[in-house]
């Protein structure tokens, strides 16, 4: 059976790199922030092995930016998140849970501080722009909230430093984790950060202006020929092994950051102004009653997880699996799920209903990578 096609339409936005992605033989897309996001080039497993060994260029344009610009930009940014941003400097990026007035997760973006009065929020798959514009308007803040023409390009894998140094100069080697520098390509200044949605190391280039997209794409591939550079994309297997969460899959607005294991990115006591602060102070005191866990699923390779798979202990449902894939390196199915506190200890053995098939599931002490 061949997979159904995705009908092209204006509502599903192409990216500045789509021509390059197609020329490199993209085999499947998903839609993320109403934009094309490649999911497979050769195969998910072949892409995974290549990512861990070489270097890949990822079209992650769908990580759209919400730009805050104006005197109230920093105040607005702090209203959105329980992470205390007072110590954050220009040149820094921060992974920030975004919560609503009940403490529910609205997004889990990377915030980029460009200046005291200018920020980018590099969003996951939810309509954060509308929430932010609503708050800016409702509180009559002196700030502009827009989606600029900025498209992140990922360069991920163990040879990412070498490839990036060839295109942007050796200075990129000195960028520290979750910091950025401004580097020039063909006379255009670009924000280059050491970050990305894999644990193989690498960078994200925030490409401003779609017109420079393909020239940069082509330069990276020409410079990386002997490094075996390939087009790639966020890899399902690698990101589960690494414990990188997927908004809309592993968590939704029904979950608090604490349930998502993102309590370490919250300073709710001192995050004065955060809209969800009162709600989160309450849940932080009690602690969550369910939390995200790394899970092993026994048996053969599982199918793609396109709906939650319930987890049982005896007759009682005690959680659900929300992401899963066969890991060639660990020889098991790796998975992420939400598990109730009575059953979340490492080593706990549960049963999953995987589309009518029963599977043995074990709670792990942590993620694989």
Q: Least Å distance between CB 225 and ligand THG?
A: 26
Nearer to ligand THG, 108 or 161 (CB): 108
Distance from the first to the final alpha carbon of the chain: 34
Tokens found for residue 24: 């490199």
Nearer to ligand THG, 146 or 355 (CB): 146
Q: Least Å distance between CB 248 and ligand THG?
A: 11
Nearer to ligand THG, 118 or 340 (CB): 118
Q: Least Å distance between CB 197 and ligand THG?
A: 4
Nearer to ligand THG, 78 or 107 (CB): 107
Q: What does each C-alpha distance from 208 to 82, 182, 214 come to in angstroms?
A: 29, 12, 12
Q: Least Å distance between CB 66 and ligand THG?
A: 11
Nearer to ligand THG, 111 or 318 (CB): 111
Q: Least Å distance between CB 206 and ligand THG?
A: 8
281 Cβ contact list (under 8 Å, min separation 6): 268, 269
Distance separating alpha carbons of residues 114 and 69, to the nearest angstrom: 10
Q: Least Å distance between CB 98 and ligand THG?
A: 10
Helix (H) or strand (E) holding 216: helix 213-223
Closest of 348, 63, 357, 302 to residue 196, by C-alpha: 63
Residues that bind ligand THG (CB under 6 A): 63, 95, 108-110, 122-124, 152, 178, 195-197, 204, 244-245
Q: Least Å distance between CB 1 and ligand THG?
A: 31
Q: Least Å distance between CB 300 and ligand THG?
A: 29
Can you say how many angstroms the Cα of residue 350 is from the centroid of all Cα atoms in its chain? Answer: 28
Contacts made by residues 241-244, CB under 8 angstroms, sequence distance 24+: 241/199, 241/327, 241/329, 241/330, 241/334, 241/367, 241/368, 241/369, 242/198, 242/199, 242/367, 242/368, 242/369, 243/294, 243/336, 243/366, 243/367, 243/368, 243/369, 244/197, 244/198, 244/199
Nearer to ligand THG, 122 or 327 (CB): 122
Nearer to ligand THG, 83 or 359 (CB): 83
Three-class secondary structure of residue 33 per DSSP? coil
Beta bridge partners of 248: none
Distance separating alpha carbons of residues 348 and 162, to the nearest angstrom: 43
Nearer to ligand THG, 33 or 350 (CB): 33
* CA atoms in the 13 A half-sphere facing the CB of 153: 31
Q: Least Å distance between CB 122 and ligand THG?
A: 3
Nearer to ligand THG, 177 or 306 (CB): 177
Q: How many Cβ atoms sit within 10 Å of the Cβ of residue 170? A: 10
CB 166 within 8 A of CB 224: yes
Q: Least Å distance between CB 138 and ligand THG?
A: 25
CB 206 within 8 A of CB 9: no
Nearer to ligand THG, 249 or 348 (CB): 249
């Amino acid at each position: 059976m061949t997979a159904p096609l995705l009908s092209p339409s204006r509502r599903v936005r192409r990216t500045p790199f789509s021509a390059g992605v197609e020329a490199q033989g993209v085999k499947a897309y998903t839609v993320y922030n109403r934009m094309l996001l490649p999911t497979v080039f050769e195969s998910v497993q072949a892409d995974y092995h290549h990512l861990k060994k070489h270097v890949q260029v990822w079209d992650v344009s769908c990580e759209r930016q919400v730009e805050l610009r104006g005197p109230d930009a920093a105040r607005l940014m702090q209203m959105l998140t329980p992470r205390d941003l007072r110590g954050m400097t220009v040149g820094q990026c921060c992974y920030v849970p975004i919560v609503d007035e009940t403490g529910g997760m609205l997004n889990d973006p990377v915030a980029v501080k460009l200046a005291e009065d200018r920020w980018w929020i590099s969003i996951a798959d939810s309509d954060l722009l509308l929430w932010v514009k609503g708050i800016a308007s409702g509180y009559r803040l002196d700030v502009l909230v827009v989606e600029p023409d900025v498209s992140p390009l990922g360069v991920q894998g163990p040879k990412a430093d070498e490839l990036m140094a060839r295109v942007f100069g050796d200075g990129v080697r000195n960028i520290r984790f979750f910091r950025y520098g401004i580097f020039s390509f063909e006379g255009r200044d670009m924000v280059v950060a050491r970050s990305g949605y894999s644990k193989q190391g690498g960078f994200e280039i925030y490409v401003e202006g779609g017109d420079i997209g393909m020239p940069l794409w082509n330069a990276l591939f020409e410079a990386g020929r002997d490094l075996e550079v390939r087009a790639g994309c966020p890899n399902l297997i690698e990101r589960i092994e690494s414990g990188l969460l997927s908004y809309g899959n592993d968590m939704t607005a029904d979950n608090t950051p604490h349930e998502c294991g993102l309590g370490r990115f919250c300073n709710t006591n001192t995050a004065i102004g955060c809209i969800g602060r009162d709600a989160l102070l309450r849940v932080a005191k009690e602690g969550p009653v369910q939390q995200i866990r790394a899970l092993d699923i026994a048996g053969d390779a599982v199918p793609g997880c396109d709906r939650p798979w319930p987890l049982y202990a005896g007759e009682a449902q005690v959680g659900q699996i929300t992401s899963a894939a066969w890991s060639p390196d660990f020889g098991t199915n790796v998975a992420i799920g939400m598990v109730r506190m009575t059953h979340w200890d490492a080593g706990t053995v549960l049963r999953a209903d995987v589309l009518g098939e029963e599977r043995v599931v074990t709670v792990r002490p942590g993620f694989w990578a």
